[in-house]
A and B are shown apart, each in its own frame.
Chain A
Amino acid sequence: MGLTRPPKWADWLIEKICPDEYLEEVQGDLHEAFYWREETRGLPYARRKFYLEALKTFRLFRFRKPDFMKNPFFYLLKNYFKTGFRFIWKTRTYSFINMSGLAIGIATAAMAYLFLADQFSFDRFHDKSDRLYRIGAQLEFRGETEKMGGASYIMGKTLPEEVPGIEMATHVKNGIALRLIDQDYNYLVFHYADPEMFQMLDFNFISGTPGAFQDPENIVVSKTFAKTLPASNELRLLFGEEEKVFSVAGVYEDFPMTSTFRPAVIIPFNFWVSRVAARRTETWFDINMNVFVLRREGATLEDVEAGMNEVLAANLDSDMASANPQLFLQPFSNMHTDRLEMGNGLRATANLQVLWVVLIVGLLCLLISCFNYSNFALGNFLSRSREVAVRKVIGANRNSIFQQFLSESFLGTLIAGILAFLLIQGLLPVFSQFVGVEYGFRDLLSWRFGVGLALVLLISTVLSGLYPSLVLSTKKANIALKERLKVGGKSFFSWFLVMMQVSITIFLIIGMLTTNQQLDHLLNFDLGYEDENVLALSIRDTSEQRLDQMHRELERLAFVQSVSSNSGYNGTDYKDGEIDFSTSHLRTDENFIDLLKIDMVEGRNFDLEIQADQGGAVLVNETFVKRAQLDNPVGEVIPFQYGNLENPRIIGVVKDFHYAALQTEVKPLVIYTAPEYMMQTLLIKLNPQSSQQEIGQIEALWRQIYPTRPINYTYLEESNAADMQTETQIQRLARSGSLIAILLASLGLFGMVGTHVRQRLKEVSIRKVNGATPMDIYLLFSSKFGKWLVSGFIIGTIPAIYFLNNWLNNYPERIQLSWGIPTLSVLICAVVFLTIITLLLVRVMNLNPATHLKDE
């Protein structure tokens, strides 16, 4: 070797640049090449090359291992995962069943989460939504507090001026007008609003602006509505008989579906003010619109509410004092779920009851599947005590065993998580249809969902991994090698989990059966009248003449049995000395009672022949008689007063019928024929099996008599069923929830009993050799399972009965909770579970003892 050496600082450079794991090889090679090149091409060349190549070693960076991979713990982790995978693969049928169980639970909960997150995200998309409120009013009425969403015009005008905590406010009111589209008149619902609204809510104008929004003829419309406008950008509306032409000043992006307030057309509030009597804008408790309020930053809600009530007290008429009127603010974000008595066009469409059921069903399914998973994984892990013993003998300490099982159980939950994602993707379209809201997979990609999923995976990991890790890591190696740990028989924990699963399943099944029965009860309930084949048309026309004509023409049709009009049910006070209650009243005609086949208890129906009936006769229902404390109601003159109808005489008593939704009790009712109220609904009793063609005839007739009114009809039976929407939804949720629950619990039991049986094959073999019959074997196992199933039944039934009794108490017309339903639920569970157990035990009962005794 000569005197020359590779340049020192280039060497230093290599050491700096080249990744450590390649340094020895690369530096050695470069040195060697230096001498070789010096020999063949001379020193300068060799030197030049050395510098250059020293720099080029940076290219090896691409092959550098990340630092964490060099950590010994990482190798250990890799080993754990590898053994984990092998074990999962070895027990793949069971593992797959188990993981898909957890996946089903996660998917169910994920969808429940999606639905709930969507429902609770309503009205939060406005920038200032945390400071937006709508004014509500609260009245006390015979000891009952009634909360209404809405305010009067003067409130919206005065309060922002006098309450410092209110930054600004806007009136918002629904209006309805007729619009001619292709020769047909259609109703158009629009909104009146003040210019402040565009500063308070997040309006995104695509073209134009609202401007000052003072000119009543300049309106703004949503993008969707704008598409229906003619090229002239004019909107022609019919208010009564008078036509108004509006020009569109701006088009805004539609509000998202998660908005309670989704205006299509907004007309300046001036328009409404200019067209109503002054009394409507000056009366403090003329609540017929909404007022949105923006709270000033820094002001508290309580201060603003207190300020509002001060102003109210100063302006209130004395005759309102007895009702103790109070104003309150309803946060914007609560409008969707918080149902008030009255909405003035903005009603909560969500039902908290339904949301609760979704939450409970989702959580319970998740819980079952977590238990399930843990229980099974537990059994599987404990059967590996021998592996652990070997690891310990080789030198594994307690910590590393602990880590191994935790990382393995994490691997399992991770796979389950991936399965859940696939499942959700497949089920989302079905679910969207089920709840009637379109969800995409994208909706799931929020941080909240991510955190939730991570939490679920973590909990299942801990539940399934912690106990076996503890047990296995503390077991002495020599003992573990000698005897096998058993699951089931002695492990209280795993049987406890099975019991919890069974009880949750029982809980859900009882819930499902009860809601089923209650809904059937409500749907088949004798309403007290017949709603079959009755068509209800809304009239919306003030002319009695046209209505008479309509009646006459309809009665001529062969398939029409009977025609009757009514005013709809309204409310008023009834006072008779000490007696004081609120009663419904209805204006109708003499056909009403016969058309709906309402039973008369006493007296007679209205009679056209009798003059006195025209003004001064009423029918009342049984509840009215009871509340008014009338002993001999027929012939009695009562101090009922409405419009010009005063002190009428009762000519008959009708049996109570459920004119309002079945969820409420029947209220007192007075029926009269005096023209004190506009007729609003036209009832037509059709022959059974009336066809669409015949309804077409009614439509033609309607068009002829009411050319400018759109026809709007429903079948009474259908609209009655629509009142049951909440109950129907709850029933569907409970049904699918309990199906999933029973599926999951069955999976759990399958895994549990399966592990149990596999572990005792040798024992069974010996018993068989000693003469045990298949029946003995069957009893040996099933008696043990039976004990836990029975305790699960009991634990599940008690809270179910408690909760359902509470729920049923909401209904005046309810089923009686008897022992039938719990017994049936237990039977269903017992049959399913026993089938599973028997299927698994058949193998053991018929096994050949030789197969399991010959090895070892």
Chain B
Amino acid sequence: MESIGALEEIILMILLKYEECHGVQIAQHHETIFSKSISLPAIHVVLKRMEKKGWVDSRFGEPTAKRGGRRKRLYKATPAGYHAIERLQEAKSKLWASIVQQNFRYGAN
């Protein structure tokens, strides 16, 4: 299986949740979820890479005035993208579940 980068994973999940998005929407969702800003070209690079791997698909959307009359490119996760992330998430949650929940908040240990 091809390895998934951390940002790839997050963007793929965003695409799975919100179906079709373009770059700015992804950045907005990212900010609301993580309350942390993210650079757009970083998102673009990840999208292109995932498109090459076949995890996402894209098509041109309609132009808007805010974009200076430029079309947006709308991205969508593919079944292959879903399967790529599915196994990873299963493994992660299994691992998380196996961890004894500890309270680190009060400086234990």
Residues of A within 8 A of B (CB): 1, 22, 24-33, 35-36, 49, 52-53, 56-57, 59-60, 62-63
Knowing A29-B23, A63-B48, say if A53 contacts B41 (CB, 8 Å): yes
State whether the Cβ of B98 lies closer than 8 Å to any Cβ in chain A.
no
CB pairs A–B below 8 angstroms (27 shown) = A22-B44, A25-B44, A25-B70, A25-B72, A26-B40, A26-B44, A28-B67, A28-B72, A29-B23, A29-B72, A30-B40, A32-B24, A32-B64, A32-B72, A33-B23, A35-B66, A36-B24, A36-B28, A53-B41, A56-B41, A56-B42, A59-B41, A59-B42, A59-B44, A60-B44, A62-B45, A63-B52
Give B56-89 as 1s and 0s: 1 = Cβ < 8 Å from A's Cβ atoms.
Answer: 0000000111111011110000000000000000
Residues of B within 8 A of A (CB): 22-24, 27-28, 37, 39-42, 44-45, 48-49, 52, 63-68, 70-73
Q: Which residues of A contact B65 (CB under 8 A)?
A: 1
Query: Is there an interface contact between A28 and B71, defined as CB atoms closer than 8 Å?
Result: yes
Q: Which residues of B contact A52 (CB under 8 A)?
A: 39
Nearest-CB distance from A38 to chain B (Å)?
A: 11
Nearest-CB distance from A361 to chain B (Å)?
A: 50
Given contacts A24-B70, A25-B23, A32-B67, 5 further A-B contacts (CB under 8 A): A25-B70, A29-B22, A33-B24, A59-B44, A59-B45
Knowing A25-B23, A25-B73, A60-B45, say if A31 contacts B39 (CB, 8 Å): no
Given the complex of chains A and B, what is the CA–CA distance between A59 and B40 in angstroms? 11
Query: Is there an interface contact between A31 and B44, defined as CB atoms closer than 8 Å?
Result: no
Q: Which residues of B contact A60 (CB under 8 A)?
A: 41, 44-45, 48
Given the complex of chains A and B, what is the CA–CA distance between A337 and B72 in angstroms? 74
Query: Is there an interface contact between B42 and A27, defined as CB atoms closer than 8 Å?
Result: no
Nearest-CB distance from B38 to chain A (Å)?
A: 10
Query: Is there an interface contact between A26 and B24, defined as CB atoms closer than 8 Å?
Result: no
Knowing A36-B28, A53-B40, A63-B48, say if A1 contacts B73 (CB, 8 Å): no
Nearest-CB distance from B29 to chain A (Å)?
A: 12
Q: Which residues of B contact A36 (CB under 8 A)?
A: 24, 28
Q: Which residues of A contact B67 (CB under 8 A)?
A: 27-29, 31-32
CB closest residue in chain A, given B49: A63
Given the complex of chains A and B, what is the CA–CA distance between A26 and B48 in angstroms? 12
Q: Which residues of A contact B73 (CB under 8 A)?
A: 25
Q: Which 9 A-B pairs have the closest CB atoms?
A: A28-B70, A28-B67, A29-B23, A56-B41, A25-B73, A63-B48, A32-B24, A57-B41, A33-B24
Q: Which residues of B contact A25 (CB under 8 A)?
A: 22-23, 44, 70-73
Number of A-B contacts (CB under 8 A): 76
Given the complex of chains A and B, what is the CA–CA distance between A49 and B28 in angstroms? 14
Q: Which residues of B contact A49 (CB under 8 A)?
A: 37, 39
Given the complex of chains A and B, what is the CA–CA distance between A413 and B39 in angstroms? 49
Nearest-CB distance from A63 to chain B (Å)?
A: 4
Instruction: From B28, B39, B71, name the one whose CB has the most chain A CB atoms within 10 angstroms.
Output: B39
B68 contact from A31, A53, A62, A63, Cβ within 8 A: A31
Knowing A1-B65, A25-B71, A28-B71, say if A33 contacts B27 (CB, 8 Å): yes
Given the complex of chains A and B, what is the CA–CA distance between A52 and B40 in angstroms? 10
Given the complex of chains A and B, what is the CA–CA distance between A1 and B44 in angstroms? 26
Nearest-CB distance from A13 to chain B (Å)?
A: 12
Q: Which residues of B contact A59 (CB under 8 A)?
A: 41-42, 44-45
Knowing A36-B28, A52-B39, say if A29 contacts B68 (CB, 8 Å): no
A53 contact from B39, B63, B66, Cβ within 8 A: B39
Q: Which residues of A contact B41 (CB under 8 A)?
A: 26, 53, 56-57, 59-60
Q: Which residues of B contact A22 (CB under 8 A)?
A: 44, 48
Nearest-CB distance from B37 to chain A (Å)?
A: 8
Given the complex of chains A and B, what is the CA–CA distance between A52 and B38 in angstroms? 12
Q: Which residues of B contact A63 (CB under 8 A)?
A: 45, 48-49, 52
CB closest residue in chain B, given A55: B41
Nearest-CB distance from A40 to chain B (Å)?
A: 9
Q: Which residues of B contact A35 (CB under 8 A)?
A: 66
Q: Which residues of A contact B68 (CB under 8 A)?
A: 27-28, 31
Q: Which residues of B contact A53 (CB under 8 A)?
A: 39-41
Q: Which residues of A contact B28 (CB under 8 A)?
A: 36
Given the complex of chains A and B, what is the CA–CA distance between A35 and B67 in angstroms? 9
Given the complex of chains A and B, what is the CA–CA distance between A708 and B15 in angstroms? 94
Given the complex of chains A and B, what is the CA–CA distance between A35 and B65 in angstroms? 11
Q: Which residues of B contact A32 (CB under 8 A)?
A: 24, 64, 66-67, 72
Given the complex of chains A and B, what is the CA–CA distance between A35 and B24 in angstroms? 11
Q: Which residues of B contact A56 (CB under 8 A)?
A: 39-42
CB closest residue in chain B, given A52: B39
Nearest-CB distance from B21 to chain A (Å)?
A: 11
Given the complex of chains A and B, what is the CA–CA distance between A53 and B43 in angstroms? 11
Given the complex of chains A and B, what is the CA–CA distance between A31 and B67 in angstroms? 5
Q: Which residues of A contact B70 (CB under 8 A)?
A: 24-25, 27-28, 31
Given the complex of chains A and B, what is the CA–CA distance between A29 and B24 in angstroms? 6
CB closest residue in chain A, given B65: A1
Query: Is there an interface contact between B66 and A29, defined as CB atoms closer than 8 Å?
Result: no
Q: Which residues of B contact A28 (CB under 8 A)?
A: 63-64, 67-68, 70-72
